[in-house]
Structure 1
Amino acid sequence: MRSPLPILALLLNALIWGLSWWPLRQLHAAGLHPLWATALMYGAALVGLLLLRPGSWRSALAHPVLLLLALSSGLTNVAFNWAVTVGDVVRVILLFYLMPAWAVLLAWKLLGERPTPMALVRLVLAFSGVVLVLLPADGARQGLFTGLSLADGLAVLGGFMFALTNVNLRRMHALPGQARMLAMFAGCTIMGAAAAALAWTLGLAPGLPAPQAPWLLIAGAMALLMLLSNWALQYGATRLPASVTSVVMLSEVLFASVSAVWLASAELPARTLAGGALILLAALLAATARARAPGQRIGAQPLAGHQG
């Protein structure tokens, strides 16, 4: 009988990320902007990782190509954390999970992998879902883009960078796992700090506040949870087929949506539900594509969980 622990580990990873919007909003309410929170949380996690694996930095420095992974994963988390803090959680999560659609286009451009007919079907499903999610309540097509919020833009950017991160991980699969993990945590720390400083300079975010016990405790707890979620993802993903991992990780959308409705009294309009169903259907088809035809096309690449 197969142990349930790998699936439980993946569910734990999805639960942590699906609920991450709530502590980020608590930090924001306590005076810590999500960009500064990203830098501090991942900085603490990076220090913890270096203490656990002190030799990992030498391995990372030996592979300069990891800078690309650091950049994409850093921007992924900067955009996602900012978006779920200031925007509608369900809407942000759905737009973020356009990742399988972006992955098809990025692999076509960067890896020279022409999309399969089913990959093109998934593209149509995903972007049709986006139109439904973004379309104003009055259904006016001219308001499709004029009504975009900062959170919407950040969610789309985060999903695109998430797809680029997965493409980078695939291209760098032969590199040591510890080096890849270190690069991703370092990227989140540096990009978080750089984005926070830039946003502060432009007047889009406040400066780093003086240390206070409430947000220090929450940020410290979040750093530990990110280390735990990364371990859970590595444990589960290495013991299960990629298609199973991808399907289980989609539970993050469920955790985020239910928690937003429960804790933030979020509403789920019929248009959003319909658009979300199309986006998730596209992601589910991408997740199960490898099980049907175990090729090497990125169009059939399974959806990875947050790895930073």
Structure 2
Amino acid sequence: MTQASTSRRAALIALAFPTLIWSYNWIVMKQALQFSGPFEFSALRYVGGTIVLFAVLLVRRESLRPPPLVPTAMIGLAQTLGFQLLVQWALVDGGAGKTALLAYSMPFWLVLFGWLVWKVRPAPRLIAGLAVAGIGLVLVLEPWLGLGDGRSSLLALAGGFAWAIGVSLSKRLFERGGINVLSLTAWQMLIGSAGMVVIALLVPERPIEWSNAFIAALLYNTVLASGLAWLLWSFVVAELPANVAGLSSLVIPIAGVAFAWALLGERPSPVECVGIVFIAVALLLVNWRSGEAQSR
């Protein structure tokens, strides 16, 4: 077995861990709200995650020099501050499974953002993915039943949009060359976390109940979801083709729905189940690449 095939096999194994960690974390984030307000939990989580990522940079003896500050700050405000606050707020009234699914509308927003802002016309396959996703979102939201948890759904969708802005800006920054994935992740998280701390201090919330369950949720988010998972993800991105890594965005929200069903009793309606299938198909269309791309 060649060194390249060994590295690829290791990366495929590594991909399973961030996928599982991030899927289950939707349950952890929902349960953490029993003991804290959404903004304080987000601030504590990402301050801890930032410390973990900078510790990893130190252990790996990588440069602590920040990437270009203006685009990095914009990424942090969108991808960390905007995304995390919106989805955590959505979880206050919304189910973990549905919130995860709607937040992972990010790939569809990314295609639209690139089309409208960067004037990158999507391929017919991507347009088809957007159309299928639109049908799936309507079925999941079931607007004919009334608003219901409409605010939560809109917050989750807005979180996916904020995430898409961050990803789009990241792609533009990486195109310049010379940008370290882990360094950019750490610095944008530092900037986003600073914004979270300010909001947590300004917005009144109920006092935190420092229970063992809450501390465990914080540790899960800082060490696993923000530390280990990101480190493994950096390895996966470096070793695997983009389409293989991207397909994890198909697994995470679907697994999140399954976890919410099994552990929180959030059973989707038959119409929602059909919508989930449509969104899964759309994610597959958006993330799929041609045979030529797969061989790279």
Report the secondary structure of 1:24's partner residue: helix
Q: Which runs of 5+ in 1 are unaligned?
A: 201-205, 295-308
Equivalent residues of 2:36, 2:209 under 8 A apart: no
Task: Determine whether 1:51 maps to 2:58.
Answer: no
Task: Determine whether 1:7 maps to 2:12.
Answer: yes
Residue pairs, 1:288-303, within 5 angstroms: 288=288, 290-292=289-291, 294=293
Paired with 1:83 and 1:23, the residues of 2 have a C-alpha distance of: 14
Letter of the structure 2 residue corresponding to residue 183 of structure 1: W
Task: Determine whether 1:170 maps to 2:171.
Answer: yes
Instruction: Provide the residue aligned with 1:41 in structure 2.
Output: 45
Match of 1:20 among 25, 28, 32: 25
CA drift of 1:66 comes to 0.8
CA drift of 1:257 comes to 1.6
Paired with 1:163 and 1:66, the residues of 2 have a C-alpha distance of: 15
Q: TM-score, normalised by structure 1?
A: 0.82
Instruction: Provide the residue aligned with 1:154 in structure 2.
Output: 155
Residue pairs, 1:148-227, within 5 angstroms: 148-173=149-174, 174=177, 175-200=179-204, 206-207=205-206, 209=208, 214-225=213-224, 226-227=226-227
Paired with 2:104 and 2:52, the residues of 1 have a C-alpha distance of: 29
Distance change (3 Å), C-alpha of 1:89 and 1:52? closer
- The C-alpha deviation readout for 1:99-124, integer Å capped at 9, x for no partner, is 22211110012222122222221111
Task: Determine whether 1:133 maps to 2:134.
Answer: no
Instruction: Provide the residue aligned with 1:244 in structure 2.
Output: 244
Report the secondary structure of 1:113's partner residue: coil
Equivalent residues of 1:36, 1:196 under 8 A apart: yes
CA drift of 1:49 comes to 2.7
Letter of the structure 2 residue corresponding to residue 8 of structure 1: I
Match of 2:71 among 65, 70, 79: 65
Q: Which runs of 5+ in 2 are unaligned?
A: none
Equivalent residues of 1:93, 1:253 under 8 A apart: yes
Equivalent residues of 1:36, 1:208 under 8 A apart: no
Equivalent residues of 1:10, 1:232 under 8 A apart: yes
Instruction: Provide the residue aligned with 2:107 in structure 1.
Output: 100
Instruction: Provide the residue aligned with 1:203 in structure 2.
Output: none
Q: Could you say what the CA RMSD is over the residues aligned between the two structures, in angstroms? A: 2.4
- The C-alpha deviation readout for 1:7-56, integer Å capped at 9, x for no partner, is 22222111111111222233222x22232111111111212333343575
Paired with 2:264 and 2:209, the residues of 1 have a C-alpha distance of: 28
Distance change (3 Å), C-alpha of 1:183 and 1:255? same
- The C-alpha deviation readout for 1:124-144, integer Å capped at 9, x for no partner, is 1111111111115xx46xx3x
Letter of the structure 2 residue corresponding to residue 276 of structure 1: I
Paired with 1:180 and 1:190, the residues of 2 have a C-alpha distance of: 15
CA drift of 1:285 comes to 0.6
CA drift of 1:148 comes to 4.5
Q: TM-score, normalised by structure 2?
A: 0.85
Match of 1:118 among 92, 106, 125: 125
Q: Higher mean Cα deviation, 164-173 or 73-82?
A: 73-82
- The C-alpha deviation readout for 1:149-179, integer Å capped at 9, x for no partner, is 3321221011111211211111011223243
Higher helix share: 2
Letter of the structure 1 residue corresponding to residue 169 of structure 2: N
Letter of the structure 1 residue corresponding to residue 97 of structure 2: V
CA drift of 1:284 comes to 0.5
Equivalent residues of 1:18, 1:255 under 8 A apart: yes
Letter of the structure 1 residue corresponding to residue 15 of structure 2: L
Instruction: Provide the residue aligned with 2:232 in structure 1.
Output: 232
Paired with 1:148 and 1:265, the residues of 2 have a C-alpha distance of: 17
